[in-house]
Amino acid sequence: MRILFVGDVMGEVGQNAIATYLPKLKRRYKPQVTIVNGENATKGRGINQEVYKAFLTAGADVITMGNHTWDNNEIFDFIGDAKKLVRPLNFPTATTPGKGYTMVNVNTEKLAVINLQGNVFMGQNLANPFITVMPLVKELRQQTPNIFIDLHAETTSEKEAMAWYLDGQVSAVIGTHTHVQTSDNRVLPEGTAFLSDVGFTGPYNGILGMTRENVIGRFLEQMPTRFNVQEDSPAVLSGCLIDVDGKTGHAKKIQRLLINPDHPYFDD
């Protein structure tokens, strides 16, 4: 089983990058499951139904989210019916719309996709992701050994700790949120693929995708500033490919993907 994962899509630049490159990446690498984090997709904050459907049309099988899940109020109009949209599992179960995981059929096998949000420096008091996820992992393993986790978190330590905590129990723990792709991709000893942060998909010439002037001004003036997406920019697309033994759920290989003006995409 091959999984393609594309990190935090941001604004129209990110949307256009998905429309342009996702079909090409799918043709080249032939993944069985394609997952896209879309929590910044609509104007940098949240996602609406139009963008959600556009990602599915481009080839995504599952859309994961993060700390900006609720920033676009339009999500409340469709999340209840969006079977391929997954918000962080550790929001309060009884009161939060949507779901924290989904199951994808892959020929005769299945892949469970879980979205988690970290607690360290995230500004939200969610349930402990470590305590929340393990009962679900044990439950899902009764159906499939193939489990992918998008851990939307700030610190490398929290993401790395989660991967070691779940090593051998899940196929992959891949970090999102910081928008900077790390180079620590590896398969842990018991078979869990790990990458601290897959990076983001959006404006290459912004600062983490936001307008440079506003971000620099915040550092200079120390005054509240509204950050907007840097839309007049070429795109970066960040992702990874994970090869999994569908019978055991153990990862065999993880490869980073990066497309930007300094790392251009070439068709075969």
Angle at 90 between CA 86 and CA 91, to 5 degrees: 80
* Tokens 């402990």 sit on residue: 128
* Neighbour order of strands in the sheet with 172-176: 101-106, 109-117, 147-152, 172-176, 193-195, 186-187
**In terms of Cα–Cα distance, which of 143, 142, 200, 191 is closest to 163?**
191
**Which are the catalytic amino acids?**
68
**In terms of Cα–Cα distance, which of 119, 259, 261, 115 is closest to 200?**
259
Centroid of chain to Cα 54 = 17
Contact, 18 vs 53, CB < 8 A?
no
Q: What is the dihedral of CA 138, 172, 145, 94, to 10 degrees?
A: 40
Pairwise CA distance, residues 97 & 92, whole Å: 9
